Amino acid sequence: MARDFITLPPLYYRDHFLEMIGFVTSVYGAMLGEDEQAFISRFGELDEWAQCLYIRMVNRKKAVFSPGDLDYQEIGDLWGGLDQLREHGFIREICAQDYHACLDDHAKPDLQNLAKDHGLEVKSGWSKPRLADHIQAHLAYDAFASGFLRSDHFVPEHKDTLGFLLYLYFGRLSDNMTSFALRDLGVVSVKARDSYQARFDNLQAARAGYFYTRQLQALRQGADATALADSLDAWPPAESEASQTLRDTLLHQIGLAFEKRKDTARALDIYARSGAFESHERGVRLLYAMGATDEVKARLEAMLQSPAHDEEYIFASDFYARKFGQQRMGIFTHLLRSAETLEVDELFRGDAEYAAMQAYAKQGWTPWHSENDLWAVLFGLLFWEELFESAASFGSDFDCRPQSLKDRTFHTRFADQIAQKLAWVRAGEATDYMRDIIRRHHGESNGLFVWFKGLEDLVTAFLSAAPRDAVAGLLQNMAEDFYGLRDGFPDLVLIRDDAVRFVEIKGEGDCVRRHQLARLNLLRSLGFAADICRVSYRTDPDQVYVVVDVETTGGRPPNDRVTEIGAVKVQHGRVIGEWSSLINPEKRIPQFITQLTGISNDMVRDAPKFADIADDFAMFIEGAIFVAHNATFDHGFIASEFRRLERRFRHPKLCTCASMRKHYPGHASYGLANLCRAFNIELKNHHRALADARAAAELLHLINEKRLEGLSSCA
């Protein structure tokens, strides 16, 4: 069926702008300052064409305009609109403060000619921004304006006021209304609500948030940190927790800029003004490098006495122990060296989590690679009604997360409901409620977690085995500080009978990060078993392999499909199982493929479809290493078939073609048939799946003889 394309009305952008203004007025009306109220009032006095012209200008990246830049077909009266904009103060003539914007508005060749005309030395290889900077620094504005600036240029006014209104609407910096167009085109999904929550309690808090967010953006874009630091006393007060966090982050970034310049004294001064833990840490490290050990000791002891959070305590205790307690090994190194070690086959290298899951499954655990998802799922399901169905939970239609999580008021606003639902968890009565939420809301976008296959099974199994008080305790912590606990949780959760265990997996070269240790400590303090596991690699003589061959309708998935699978299971050099099936590819097999493989359309007409054999094949290969001659081809086709079923096919691979090249060099060809001739391996019915898989299994024996040689000599 042909797709219906949505066409936006000619003045869609004006409709969106008026929608935004109306929303901000209704939600923040009494909170708006004089500048915002005056802007809205004067904008309403403009006629339709003047409004359209202004919106067109502020939605573009350009800062300087001429009438030729605004020749839009849908605007009926360009010159009358411009006259209105001048009369009402929405555009102004260009002045010296617009110098750089004027330079940006010209093409690079024009700037090169300008420099040449005024005798400025420039290089042809300079970028346009560097060229503009050089001209501004060495050519007076009046000299530029007199000969190069056209008189019909102008600049839109009130962009800062408009930016603040957009900040109120979106809760982030935005310089255009593109999100509205994407919504109307169906590209962005939004959900209209009956009421909305203001993002700020008062105008001062809103202005502070806007100021600090803008300065952070400016600093990241190359603004001068010194000028920003020099104006520190004029910064607005940070009265809310959110604006204080932004202020602390800005101070920390300025401190880092001074550190980079080797201005240690200025960096220390800035760090001292920041409440961010990262600033406290940098201050301690700088002081220690300067030899101020007494000051460092005092700061560390203060952190240990009253830490801002777990990560600060971990840093302080680790640093104090290593620098003043004669402990040569840090907490993180000690944890890693003392952790449990799992030995897995070297073919799992690069996928430590999957290797650990296979190893724990052999021990009787059901492993889930949950990381941060499990707790986000449990939190979102348990408090779904409060988060997504309560009145005035969101700041606008475009918000994906409730405002109460962002401003950390969720635990106070819904204190009674939270207490009731945590009581359900402690009593073992929350599972049915969460399963009902899953069935009623599965697939709905929510901003906290992504729905995945097996989610209900994980929730049910976890809640039936996990210590209830511990689960309730962690969810209580998340209710109080969701953003502070949104990451760092261990990679795996293991479930067996009435036992639950969290495990952070570390492969070769991995280190333990501070926030990961903080989550492990939190889980342990609540009563969970939570550990670190190191994965090491070796050639495992007990490893199970499944050698696979597929026949297909062509060479490119997903357009081409599988017509036959043959699989041979191998352990200790012996075949311990075989699996094969013709498969209906649900498309015609080309004649040249039939000539190559012998598989015809008649042969597969009544064969099972891949969906019919997927579970059986997945069970046959479970826990094994996937082996094939040109493994990328065979694995890619099977993975493509599983993706059609919205399932993931994940196995470590060994390619007999590449491995034979490595261990048995010197052959003219490493095709399957040629290798079989060279090593006297029987190959009947070449290009039938099971026959080719059996032959490749013989190559695997030869490869493993080489792989296991080192292990035998060590033994």
Tell me the pLDDT tens digit for each residue of 647-683: 989 888 999 999 999 999 999 999 999 999 999 999 8
pTM of the complete model: 0.78
Q: Angle, nearest 10°, between helix axes 293-305 and 277-290?
A: 150
| Section 117-140 average pLDDT | 92
**Residue-level pLDDT at 577:** 96
Q: Which residue has the higher pLDDT, 28 or 151?
A: 28
Which pLDDT score is estimated for 374? 97
DSSP count for the chain of H helices, then E strands: 36, 12
State the chain's mean pLDDT as an integer.
91
Q: Per-residue confidence at 329, pLDDT binned at 50, 70, 90? A: low
Q: What is the pLDDT of residue 240?
A: 87
**Nearest Cα residue to 98 out of 152, 60, 153:** 153
Contacts of 351 (CB under 8 A, 6+ apart): 652
**pLDDT-based confidence at 337, cuts 50/70/90?**
low
* Paired tokens of 64: 């300087």
- Sheet with 653-655: list strands edge to edge: 574-582, 562-571, 544-552, 625-628, 653-655
Predicted confidence at residue 335, as pLDDT, reads: 66
DSSP type of residue 708: T
Torsion of CA 705, 710, 711, 714, to 10 degrees: 140
Say what the pLDDT of residue 675 is. Answer: 95
- Which member of 16, 106, 134, 687 is catalytic? 687
pLDDT band at 4 (very low <50, low <70, confident <90, very high): low
* pLDDT band (50, 70, 90) for residue 391: confident
State the pLDDT at residue 333: 60
Which range (177-186, 381-390, 459-468, 603-612) has the least confidence? 177-186
The answer to whether residue 2 scores a pLDDT higher than 50 is no
* Size (the chain), residues: 715
Detail the DSSP E strand segments found in 399-528.
492-496, 499-506
Tokens representing 326 are 């004669």
Name the more confident of 514 and 150: 514
pLDDT band at 225 (very low <50, low <70, confident <90, very high): very high
Amino acid at 291: G
What's the longest Cα–Cα distance across the chain?
93
What is the average pLDDT across 251-265? 96
Using pLDDT thresholds of 50, 70 and 90, give the confidence band for residue 339.
confident
pLDDT attached to residue 321? 85
> Is 687 known to be catalytic?
yes
Measured torsion, CA atoms of residues 363, 365, 368, 369, in degrees rounded to the nearest 10: -30
**What is the average pLDDT across 54-75?**
93
pLDDT of residue 205: 93
Q: What is the Cα–Cα distance from 279 to 274, expressed in whole angstroms?
A: 6
Instruction: Specify the pLDDT at position 709.
Output: 78
3-state secondary structure string across 136-197 = HHHCCHHHHHHHHCCCCCEEECCHHHHHHHHHHHHCCCCCCCHHHHHHHCCCCCCCCCCCCC
Which distant-in-sequence residues (6+ apart) come within 8 Å of 181 by Cβ?
8, 12, 13, 16
Q: In the chain, what percentage of residues exceed pLDDT 70?
A: 96
CB-count exposure of residue 542 (10 Å: 0-12, 13-18, 19+): exposed
What's the distance, Cα to Cα, between the start and end of the chain in Å? 66
**Mean pLDDT for the stretch of residues 36-50:** 96
Q: Name the residue with higher pLDDT: 505 or 687.
A: 505
- pLDDT of 328 > 80? The answer is no
Judged by average pLDDT, the poorest of 143-152, 201-210, 540-549, 706-715 is: 706-715
- How far is 660 from 681, CA to CA, in rounded Å? 14
Please tell me the predicted confidence (pLDDT) of residue 1: 42
CA distance 166 to 188: 18
For residue 332, what pLDDT is reported?
Answer: 58
| Coil, strand or helix at 547 | strand
Q: d(Cα 309, Cα 136) in Å, to the nearest integer?
A: 48
- Tell me if 263 sits within 8 A of 239, measured CB to CB: no
| Residue-level pLDDT at 349 | 78
247 has a pLDDT exceeding 80: yes
Q: What percent of the chain has pLDDT over 90?
A: 70
Q: What is the pLDDT of residue 340?
A: 83
Residue pair 236/250 in contact (Cβ under 8 Å)? The answer is: no
pLDDT 10s digits, 304-326: 888 887 788 888 888 988 888 76
Contact 213, 172 (CB under 8 A): yes
Residue 341 has phi, psi (to 5 degrees) of -120, 130
The answer to whether residues 115 and 134 touch, using CB atoms and an 8 Å cutoff, is yes
